[in-house]
Amino acid sequence: MQTLTEKILSRAAGKNVSPGDVTEINTDIVAFHDLTGYHVIEVMEKAGLEKIFDKSKIVIAFDHLAPPPDIRSAEIQEYIRKFVKSMGLPNFHDINFGILHEILIERYANPGQVIVAADSHTTTSGAVGAFAQGMGATDIAAAVITGKTWLMVPEPFKVNLKGEPAKWINGKDVALKILGEFKADYFNGMSIEVHVENPKSFPMDYRATVSNMGIEMNADALMFVPDEETINYIKTMRGYEPQTVKPDENAKYTDEYEIELDKMEPLVAAPSSVDNVRTAREVEGTEVDQVYIGSCTNGRLSDFETAAKIMKGKKVKSRCIAIPASYEMFKKAMDLGYIETLVNSGCIVTYGTCGPCLGGHFGVAGPGETIVSTSSRNFKGRMGSVDSKVYLSGPAVAAATAIEGKIVDPRDVE
Ligand SMILES: CC(C)[C@H](C(=O)O)[C@@H](O)C(=O)O
Ligand code: SF4
């Protein structure tokens, strides 16, 4: 009897492995972005090992420094472009594609794969049932060269999602619910496997948000057990049906936790920790300077659909910056009129950048400012000044807050 984690890692190791085993594994996708890619290539150059195990399995995207906000960023990107060209790497996404993790789930990640990338939010690809883990640039350089990496097989933890999500409930509320309940370091050395009772009621966008926040829970991986939603998503995005892999029935988990989606209410993570979780109502009335809707956490079509529903015909009272996570998401949100709605409400909209999520550019938080953001982290200084405060939320709370100029539960403004 094997869990999904054991199945995937046993295949990748070429032998049966169990929690606690330290093992070498083969990888299916190795990825990096502009900010860490620079270090990955530098490590390869210094070691004199500019070899690549399989060019078709390397994915690169420019997102953190895109479009370059300064000369150094432009230099870094040019350095990586030259490497891509000299190596003849086919899966390269320049500044006009979007954020690496979104590109991975849209185009590359498949159920049962092992995906490693030089970025902590690599867990996002767990949404399609891949074992996906972030690693440092040196480990990724080794994986680019050899196709292999090593790890300790994590303990499996099962989360069951029951029922249909209550109104305005999104993947972010589920991630925050888990973080509030268990706290940020609980899942160290564990892999979370999420079983969804009604696959259609918890679509890929929501799954990607929960998997993305897996690293905020300190989990090694956060995977959704592949089901018909996974197959539909990949079929719609790429035109083929993926092979799936499931845990065995009666597979043994270290522990389990159940969430009743229909009983949930909109949540936020108050400053300055992801596990400082409150209901939106508990912090209602908090004055806000800027709202950010976007990032690899919550920059997908359903996030923009939700924001547009709430903002339609209204004007924002706080500044609002909105960034779909990829070209695909921007294009779809544009075709469906969501971008137009947001722009008419007074939002600034662009795409293809991490930008404000990590206080990089395109809306850095100033001293004393309060931000509501749909991104993944709110530690002190994350989005700019160490004297700014960040509340994390899903798109419904963020959009309603932008309209009111203060934090509000979306159910209270209908
Ligand atoms: C810059 C990068 C290494 C970092 C990460 O690994 O997560 C960033 O994407 C983040 O979200 O903080
Ligand atoms: S959007 Fe934010 S969380 Fe995602 S990769 Fe970029 S900086 Fe990291």
Residues 246 and 384 in one domain: no
Helix (H) or strand (E) run with residue 12 in it: helix 4-13
Q: From the CA of 357, give the closest atom in ligand 2.
A: 2
Which residue among 211, 237, 261 closes a domain? 261
Which residue among 245, 261, 277 closes a domain? 261
- In angstroms, rounded to a whole number, what is the distance separating the alpha carbons of residues 115 and 96? 23
Burial class (CB in 10 A: 0-12, 13-18, 19+), 335: exposed
Residues 215 and 281 in one domain: no
Residues 336 and 218 in one domain: no
State if residue 120 touches ligand 2 by the CB under 6 angstroms criterion.
Answer: no
Distance 344 CA to ligand 1 centre (A): 32
State if residue 357 touches ligand 2 by the CB under 6 angstroms criterion.
Answer: yes
Residues 106 and 58 in one domain: yes
Residues 209 and 334 in one domain: no
Distance 118 CA to ligand 1 centre (A): 8
Residues 180 and 135 in one domain: yes
Q: Give the contacts of 387 (CB within 8 A, at least 6 positions apart).
A: 367, 368
**For a substitution probing ligand 2, which of 274, 358, 364 has the most ligand atoms within 8 Å of its CB?**
358
Looking at the CA of 362, name the nearest ligand: 2
Amino acid at 116: V
Q: State how far the alpha carbon of 133 is from the alpha carbons of 28, 81, 109, 124, 338, in Å.
A: 12, 25, 12, 9, 32
Distance 35 CA to ligand 1 centre (A): 9
pTM more than 0.95: yes
Going by alpha carbons, the residue nearest to atom 9 of ligand 1 is 119
- In angstroms, rounded to a whole number, what is the distance separating the alpha carbons of residues 264 and 208? 19
Annotated binding site: 296, 354, 357
Q: State how far the alpha carbon of 219 is from the alpha carbons of 128, 223, 345, 406, in Å.
A: 17, 10, 38, 33
Question: What pLDDT digit, counting tens, does each position of 275-323 carry?
Answer: 999 999 999 999 999 999 999 999 999 999 999 999 999 999 999 999 9
Going by alpha carbons, the residue nearest to atom 4 of ligand 1 is 119
Going by alpha carbons, the residue nearest to atom 12 of ligand 1 is 358
| Sign of the C-alpha dihedral computed for residues 65, 71, 72 and 75 taken in this order | positive
287 DSSP assignment? B
- Interface confidence (ipTM) of the complex: 0.99
Residues 152 and 298 in one domain: no
Residues 160 and 255 in one domain: yes
Residues 181 and 133 in one domain: yes
Residues 338 and 273 in one domain: yes
φ, ψ of residue 370 in degrees (nearest 5): -115, 130
Residues 242 and 120 in one domain: yes
Nearest Cα to 230, choosing from 256, 179, 195, 269? 195
Residues 209 and 236 in one domain: yes
The CATH number of residue 242's host domain is 3.30.499.10
- For residue 399, the enclosing domain spans 266-412
Own/partner contacts of 333-337, CB < 8 Å, gap of 24 or more, are 333/301, 333/304, 333/305, 333/308, 336/301, 336/305, 337/308
pLDDT tens for each residue of the chain, 414 residues long: 999 999 999 999 999 999 999 999 999 999 999 999 999 999 999 999 889 999 999 999 999 999 999 999 999 999 999 999 999 999 999 999 999 999 999 999 999 999 999 999 999 999 999 999 999 999 999 999 999 999 999 999 999 999 999 999 999 999 999 999 999 999 999 999 999 999 999 999 999 999 999 999 999 999 999 999 999 999 999 999 999 999 999 999 999 999 999 999 999 999 999 999 999 999 999 999 999 999 999 999 999 999 999 999 999 999 999 999 999 999 999 999 999 999 999 999 998 899 999 999 999 999 999 999 999 999 999 999 999 999 999 999 999 999 999 999 999 987
**For a substitution probing ligand 1, which of 119, 218, 376, 378 has the most ligand atoms within 8 Å of its CB?**
119
What is the total count of domains within the chain? 2
Which residue among 202, 226, 261 closes a domain? 261
Percent with pLDDT over 90 in the chain: 99
Name the 3-class secondary structure at 24: strand
